[in-house]
Amino acid sequence: MNDAQRRVLDAAMAETPLVAILRGITPDEIEPVCHALVEAGFRLIEIPLNSPEPWVSIERAVACCPDDVLIGAGTVLDEDDTARLAELGAPLMITPNTEAELVALGAERGLAPMIGCMTPTEALAAVRAGAMALKLFPAARLGTGYFKDISAILPKGLPVLAVGGIDRSNMAEWHAVGIAGFGFGSNLYKPGRSAAEVGEVARELVAEWQRLAADQAGQQGGGA
């Protein structure tokens, strides 16, 4: 990442740490869906590499989104993919596993590795390899109690996003136990859903995050 992209990432993680996961999206859909997400307030967009023609979609997303939005790939499993992401200026590198060599290579190439993990061992391995954030998956099946248990051994200040089975209805319970953000998949986008529908869901998710953040700020201010 260049300095500008790092500032964008830091701002997004501080203000609206929500990742749109567009698994299955096609190049023809990408521009209207990205516009709908950006208008709703999303700043982090992931295009999984097992989508149809993912590199075409990533390139088009980078071209159509404003500078304060970061694009990247999900399901990154190949070292060559890290080089291609860096060339395209799409710094988000999101993987479903903690292959240390791959994580380290992504970090060396200036990407922002957000690494999928479930166990404490996987989480710590990802951190040592250079992860900038962790993706707890499958979050809904593991539950908030599990996250609270493993949080005790995770590095302080390292963002952990809940991914898998997360929607507006359960954001509050995860926020209450200190989760740093969320990744939204099929509840936000799935093949065949129109850009207008995606935008409507996206606005609801952003509004819920803002409500939770405001409530937390109010509680902290009231206790001061």
Examine the residue annotation and report whether 208 is marked as an active-site residue of this protein: no
- Candidate list 29, 59, 135, 208, residue with the active-site label: 135
Q: Select which of 29, 46, 59, 208 is catalytic.
A: 46
Q: Is residue 145 classed exposed, middle or buried when 0-12, 13-18 and 19+ CB atoms within 10 A define those classes?
A: exposed
Q: Are 147 and 179 in contact (CB under 8 A)?
A: yes
Q: Catalytic residue at 135? A: yes
Residues that are catalytic: 46, 135
